[in-house]
Amino acid sequence: MIRALNVLAFIVASVLAVALYIAKTEAQEAQQRLTEMRAGLAEERRQINVLNVDIAHLEDPDRLRALARQYLGFEPLDPRREVAMSDLPLLIEPQNTLAVSGLEAEAADIRPAGGQ
């Protein structure tokens, strides 16, 4: 009876040792994956910072002004060419003062298809 109990205890201890080894190995692999992910995240953040600096350089107004001048022939506007809003003509006349033109009169005579 004691011998059977010893064999059973040995089997249980062996199973627990194997389970502990498997758990330890999986934990180490998970820790390694976590370390790799953190390193990858740090590299992605570094690349994002580099791209943000690159965007800031590409959107620099002085650089864009020089490129527009060089390739498109654009020059800054002369302030004397600015027009006040009150100097602009009205494009739409008030509704009650519209004169009926020949085209508008013809359009008023057109009836929908099939209508009497």
For residue 13, what pLDDT is reported? 96
CB 63 within 8 A of CB 57: yes
Mean pLDDT over residues 95-101, rounded?
Answer: 52
Residue 101 predicted with pLDDT over 80: no
In the structure, what pLDDT confidence band is assigned to residue 61 with cuts at 50, 70 and 90?
very high
For residue 82, what pLDDT is reported? 82
Which region, left, alpha or beta, applies to residue 114 given φ > 0 means left and ψ of -120 to 50 means alpha? left
For residue 75, what pLDDT is reported? 84
Residue 94 predicted with pLDDT over 70: no
**pTM of the entire predicted model:** 0.50
Q: Look at the block and give the residue holding tokens 């060089």.
A: 70
